[in-house]
Amino acid sequence: MNGFPPILAEINNLSKDQITWLLYSAKRFKLGVVPVGKYQISDSHHPIIATSFLENSTRTKHSFVIAIQKLGAMYVDFNSETSSLKKGESLEETLLTLRHQGVDLCIIRTSISHQFDEFKKNPPVRIINGGDGINQHPSQALLDLMTFIDDGGDVHGRTVAIIGDCIHSRVAHSLMELLPQFGCKIILAGPEECLPKKLESHFDSSMFYLTNDTEEAILKSDFLYLLRIQKERHSGPAAYYDGYLQKHGVSLARLENLKEQGKISTIPLVYHPGPANVGVELDHALLKSQYYRAHGQVANSVYMRMSIIKAMLMNLGNNVSSA
Ligand code: CP
């Protein structure tokens, strides 16, 4: 595949065709059409891929590591805590150093929003954004789209309600760029403090709806996508946190009541990027129910990340800095 960018910092780095290819390729990995464990990205080059998680992670880091190993690439775990970043070396110099050691691609998570903006024109090495602050988490949104399609078919004409701390969610920001391209509408729901005051002008407003009413969001949507309140990104205690589950969260009983009242015909599938705060945005009964699909998202994450890595490495030699 030609033209895949050397840096995946945000969804808008990809064309719709490229996203469609990623979905197709991930599905082939999932179905076993391409044998995992034997697949080599190149016969002549044994790629080296590093991860650098400057902020904690369970799902993203380990699914990338598994994806790397299933692709038969070499893996380097770059430990920022014991690196020269702690002596004040810049991220650019660090990545150039890794590149000259032979690293082809680096997957980076950082707490700094837009940290990759400086690399857009001249990336020191191929980069996949594993989540930057509150800005973007493109691989999560792509695996979420894959899971929606696996579960419900074409998303065109469907609606996803993203419920919770939307303004602090990098996943929400990536989904907002991704889903409307495929004809899927988005409802952003949550307390006023968690919703944008207004949509940025580049969004097509006909594809979005904002509400503080969780029940309205449930009634108007096909899929529910719950978000954690990201207390670590708030400047102080959030007043809306007490009683959140009853007012803004989703419990199994709440969904069953809506069905019994005839307000919904079926209980919708519920997604979550994780980690979930049980007792806040959802209850334990919903977490353990057949409607909760977070483990399906996690399972798909390996295949989607294999697909992204493959696409980026098939362009070896293109577009990275000559420094
Ligand atoms: N979804 C996600 O980014 O989870 P982790 O923080 O566990 O990687």
Q: Region 198-224: what's the mean pLDDT? A: 96
For residue 62, how far is its CA from the centre of ligand 1 (angstroms)?
9
- pLDDT band at residue 97 under the 50/70/90 scheme: very high
Distance 43 CA to ligand 1 centre (A): 33
Over range 144-149, report the average pLDDT. Answer: 98
Among 26-40, 86-100, 226-240, 242-256, whose mean pLDDT is lowest?
226-240
Find out whether the beta carbon of 138 lies less than 6 Å from any atom of ligand 1: no
Q: Is the CB of 59 under 6 A from ligand 1?
A: yes
Residue-wise pLDDT tens digits, 99-143: 999 999 999 999 999 999 999 999 999 999 999 999 999 999 999
The pLDDT tens digits of the residues spanning 299-311 come to: 999 999 999 999 9
Q: Which two tokens stand for residue 55?
A: 């902020």
| Lowest-confidence segment of 13-17, 36-40, 47-51, 196-200 by average pLDDT | 36-40
Segment among 76-90, 144-158, 296-310 with least mean pLDDT: 76-90
Indicate the pTM of the whole model.
Answer: 0.94
pLDDT at res. 2:
56
Ligand 1 atom closest to 109 (CA)? 8
Closest protein CA for atom 1 of ligand 1: 273
56 Cα nearest atom in ligand 1: 6
